[in-house]
Amino acid sequence: MKIIYYIFFSLTLVCVIRAQSYSIYGTVTDTIGKPIANVNIVVIGTGFGASSNEKGEYFILDLSPGVYELEFSAVGYKKFKSDSIKIKDRSINVDVIMRQKAIESEEVVITAGKYEQKKSELPVSSEIIPGAEFIEYNYRNLADALRYVPGVNMTEDQISIRGSSGYSRGAGSRALLAIDGLTFYTGDTGETVWEMIPVTELRRVEIIKGAASSLYGSSAIGGVINGITRRISEKSLTMLNAFYGFYDRPYYPEWDWSGERRPFNGITLSHSNTLGKFGFNLSFTRLEDLSYRRDDFYKKYIGFLKAVYNFSSTSSIALLADTFNKRAGNFLYWKDSRNALVPPDVDNNGRIETNRYLFGIIYKNVLSDKYFLNIKTSYYRNNFKDNGTPLNESTSHLYRGEIQLNAGLTEQIVLTTGVEGNTSVVKSNLFGNPNSFGAGVYAVADINLDFPLIISVGIRYDYSKLDSLKGSGAVSPKIGLNYKLNDNLIFRSSLGTGFRAPTLAEAFTSTSSGGITVKPNPDIKSESNTTFEVGVNYIPFNFINLDFAVFRNEYYNMIEPGIDLSDGLAVFDNVLRARIQGLEANVSASVIPRTLDLALNYTYMWARDVEKNVALKYRPRHLFYSSLNFNKWNLHFGIEFRFWSKVEKIDDELVDLGIVVDGEKRVPVYVTDLNFGYSLYSIGMPVNVYLNVKNLFNYNYVELIGNLREIRSFTLGLNLAI
């Protein structure tokens, strides 16, 4: 095909030369080197233009000598305007890289509401992470990227959206992760395993803040993370992403346990193609990290397949397969602050191995121009074991099924209804051998009164039963409003309830690890909340986007881990009547149009146990993020800064009992990252190279008691698309 193109192009050139006219030609790609088709290219001030083909190639013919400017536009990408192009006596090659839109809210589409909606029409706050950022910023894990989302903070691998969660070592989650609509949580612990998601396969990630239980049920009590995988390429496309990096030496010589700079590396090979009605994305990822901490290394292998068969233009079936294997050290806490990067002697040589598989089938059928059917079913196997004494091992099998029907009842009303069920079978020496069962039915109506006003009304009923415990049900209603006063000013508000059933781990865990013994709690009950938000989005000038929101969440019977002081054992219990309230302010500005972007985000959170009048654990009161990104001449340069105030309360009991020596040490978080990227497409090579410096100032901080976060690291990466 390429040969045909060049022959055609050469012939074209000959014709052009004969006519004493010339061409501008080139290739349009995104920031990870993937060709973009159907880009509209306009020669400004003339009637000339073109559209890119499936390989991103374009050519504009019959141009007389002169000076021209091109404007490139495509759905989902920021407009790009070229520098002045002077044609004198030859045709000119202009290759262009277009960036995905992130801040221009009007056109951005969100599917976290189980059908496509414009971000600006949602009644709740939401955020988008464009897929290209995972490679540009060398986010090896979805959790790394979530650390920079406004209103979100992480405590190690546990997410907290607007203060929804503290830390419970993987037992339960108050934010639900879905990939292409399939939920990713384990059948025993109920945890979200971020590391099994191959980030290079993600097109974008949507974050919905606030309870989404009326659509998603339990686990979405704090919000939803919705990942959308890459589209399947219409032509053969192979991509290679590889990186190598190393951690710098620790800032304090006392911590330099290894005497060397510890390396890490990763490689992803992916292929995408369409063969008639069948198309697929297939990738394999290997990640290795020797870690800056002793007994914290890992080797991970991730296999991912998305295969789609289109029965017709209106119906398709997709298979999603995600496999994950990890062999790693098992670092629980530091020895003490003088030995912050090594575990206590008794925990030396801790190891853990995990094997996880998720297989899902998604059937879609547009029944008519008003009805859309979506059937999803999945199986998630989770197995992990360590080498502790006693050895901990657990295997769970989670089966899920969901039938969803979207109906355009009228031109103004979209009704989303569905029914789903799940069952989990567990065999474990931590949790026993319990089973669980859950089912839910939901209906949400979005009523569009010609947008200035959209009303969203929904309700869901869930029933949950954990093994021998008494079953419980919950009704989760919600109402949301979105009012567009004018093109530049949009108000939104929502009021809803959420609930979360305890996980098997929270009810039945009985084990010892790192000096902590956990006992089961057969009396544990579901937790619930009410959530309220009001927000406004304002665009005073076309280069500034302002967003402001106030929120308040009331939690009842909130499940938190703690120490039973009567016996010194850890236990999950309904201990809290909590309130989390605050505000969020975001500013996005294009300082130099299409060249220099600035984003500032601030979140204030007041998170307290209102009965004891003490702060909730692991919730910083202030979150601040800023980023500055420069894009020009195929060059990308970005700087990101993250601030979390010092958390008021941690697991003080672990310090008092002497389990975590110097565990009281914690500080505010100040982390600065640098990112450089350069595309070699301009010199004919389908390669992008990246250089990342993380934690530039080698700042030492903890998110979790006794766990120093990553010290300064340097990474060099490349992305090749063929």
Partner 1 sequence: MSYKNIKTTISILSVVILLCSCDHGISPKPASQEVTGFSGRITFVGTWPDSIKRTHIVVFKDPLLDSKDFNLLNIKFISREIPFGTAVYYYSSKDSSVIPGTEAFTPGEYAYVAVAQQASDELLLVRSAWFVAGVYYTPGDRSQPGKLIIPEDTFVRNIDIVCDFNNPPPQPPGGN
Among 689, 699, 710, 716, contact with partner 1 (rule: CB under 8 A): 699
Residues ≥6 apart with Cβ < 8 Å to 375: 362, 363, 401, 402, 403, 404
Among 21, 141, 423, 698, contact with partner 1 (rule: CB under 8 A): 698
Nearer to partner 1 among residue 463 and residue 630 (C-beta): 630
Among 216, 243, 255, 690, contact with partner 1 (rule: CB under 8 A): 255
Buried b (16+ CB within 10 A) or exposed e, 45-56: eeebebebbebb
Nearer to partner 1 among residue 106 and residue 662 (C-beta): 662
Among 104, 106, 336, 467, contact with partner 1 (rule: CB under 8 A): 336
CB of 544 to partner 1, least distance (A): 6
- From the list 141-149, 173-181, 257-265, 540-548, the region that binds partner 1 by CB under 8 A is 540-548
Burial class (CB in 10 A: 0-12, 13-18, 19+), 156: middle
Among 11, 14, 409, 667, contact with partner 1 (rule: CB under 8 A): 667
CB of 348 to partner 1, least distance (A): 11
- From the list 375-383, 455-463, 525-533, 700-708, the region that binds partner 1 by CB under 8 A is 700-708
Instruction: Tell whether residue 539 is a contact of partner 1 (CB under 8 A).
Output: no
Residue 201 · residue 488 · CB < 8 Å: no
Nearer to partner 1 among residue 444 and residue 647 (C-beta): 647
Nearer to partner 1 among residue 196 and residue 340 (C-beta): 340
State the DSSP code for 54: T
Q: Which two tokens stand for residue 486?
A: 């004018």
CA 567 to chain centre: 40
Among 65, 522, 540, 684, contact with partner 1 (rule: CB under 8 A): 540
- What is the footprint of partner 1 within residues 637-666 (CB under 8 A)? 641, 643, 662, 665-666
Q: How far is the CA of 358 from the CAs of 141, 302, 324, 404, in angstroms? A: 17, 11, 9, 20
Among 267, 352, 696, 718, contact with partner 1 (rule: CB under 8 A): 696
Instruction: Tell whether residue 323 is a contact of partner 1 (CB under 8 A).
Output: no
Instruction: Tell whether residue 626 is a contact of partner 1 (CB under 8 A).
Output: yes
Nearer to partner 1 among residue 479 and residue 598 (C-beta): 598
Bond before 390 cis per omega within 30 degrees: yes
Instruction: Tell whether residue 700 is a contact of partner 1 (CB under 8 A).
Output: yes
Whole-angstrom Cα distance, residue 586 to residue 125?
11
Residues ≥6 apart with Cβ < 8 Å to 541: none
Instruction: Tell whether residue 708 is a contact of partner 1 (CB under 8 A).
Output: yes
Instruction: Tell whether residue 598 is a contact of partner 1 (CB under 8 A).
Output: yes
Among 544, 680, 689, 718, contact with partner 1 (rule: CB under 8 A): 544
Residue 234 · residue 340 · CB < 8 Å: no
Nearer to partner 1 among residue 57 and residue 547 (C-beta): 547
**Residue 604 identity (one-letter amino acid):** Y
Instruction: Tell whether residue 556 is a contact of partner 1 (CB under 8 A).
Output: no
Nearer to partner 1 among residue 184 and residue 644 (C-beta): 644
CB of 293 to partner 1, least distance (A): 14
- What is the footprint of partner 1 within residues 670-689 (CB under 8 A)? 670, 672
Measuring CA to CA, which residue among 194, 226, 218, 222 is closest to residue 209? Answer: 222
Nearer to partner 1 among residue 92 and residue 544 (C-beta): 544
Residues ≥6 apart with Cβ < 8 Å to 436: 187, 423, 424, 426, 464, 465, 466, 467, 504
Nearer to partner 1 among residue 471 and residue 668 (C-beta): 668
Whole-angstrom Cα distance, residue 452 to residue 440?
32
Measuring CA to CA, which residue among 145, 302, 120, 155 is closest to residue 225? Answer: 145
- From the list 18-26, 205-213, 373-381, 699-707, the region that binds partner 1 by CB under 8 A is 699-707
Q: End-to-end alpha-carbon separation of the chain, Å? A: 13
Whole-angstrom Cα distance, residue 55 to residue 58?
9
Pattern 19-48, partner 1, x by CB under 8 A? ------------------------------
Bond before 263 cis per omega within 30 degrees: no
Dihedral angle sign, alpha carbons of residues 677, 681, 684, 688: positive
Q: Which two tokens stand for residue 296?
A: 């914290």
CB of 707 to partner 1, least distance (A): 11
Q: Which two tokens stand for residue 688?
A: 């992008």
Number of other CB atoms surrounding residue 89 within 10 Å: 8
- From the list 47-55, 82-90, 334-342, 609-617, the region that binds partner 1 by CB under 8 A is 334-342
CB of 102 to partner 1, least distance (A): 18
CB of 697 to partner 1, least distance (A): 4
Residue 8 · residue 23 · CB < 8 Å: no
Whole-angstrom Cα distance, residue 46 to residue 601?
41
- From the list 167-175, 403-411, 485-493, 537-545, the region that binds partner 1 by CB under 8 A is 537-545
CB of 702 to partner 1, least distance (A): 7
- Strands in 223-229's sheet, in edge-to-edge order, are 126-130, 202-209, 223-229, 175-179, 182-183
Instruction: Tell whether residue 471 is a contact of partner 1 (CB under 8 A).
Output: no
Whole-angstrom Cα distance, residue 113 to residue 414?
11
CB of 243 to partner 1, least distance (A): 25
How many binding residues for partner 1 (CB under 8 A)? 34
Residue 27 · residue 35 · CB < 8 Å: yes
Angle CA 115–120–122, to nearest 5: 50
Among 168, 701, 715, 719, contact with partner 1 (rule: CB under 8 A): 701
Nearer to partner 1 among residue 338 and residue 612 (C-beta): 338
Q: Which two tokens stand for residue 151?
A: 């209103």
Rg of the chain over Cα atoms, rounded to whole angstroms, equals 26
Instruction: Tell whether residue 338 is a contact of partner 1 (CB under 8 A).
Output: yes
Among 702, 704, 720, 721, contact with partner 1 (rule: CB under 8 A): 702
Residue 147 · residue 694 · CB < 8 Å: no
- From the list 213-221, 289-297, 333-341, 375-383, the region that binds partner 1 by CB under 8 A is 333-341
Q: Which two tokens stand for residue 84?
A: 């002045």
CB of 701 to partner 1, least distance (A): 5
Number of other CB atoms surrounding residue 241 within 10 Å: 26
CB of 626 to partner 1, least distance (A): 6
Among 83, 107, 234, 254, contact with partner 1 (rule: CB under 8 A): 254
Write out the residues near partner 1 by the rule CB under 8 A.
251-252, 254-255, 336-338, 340, 540-541, 544, 589, 591, 598, 600, 626, 628, 641, 643, 662, 665-668, 670, 672, 696-702, 708
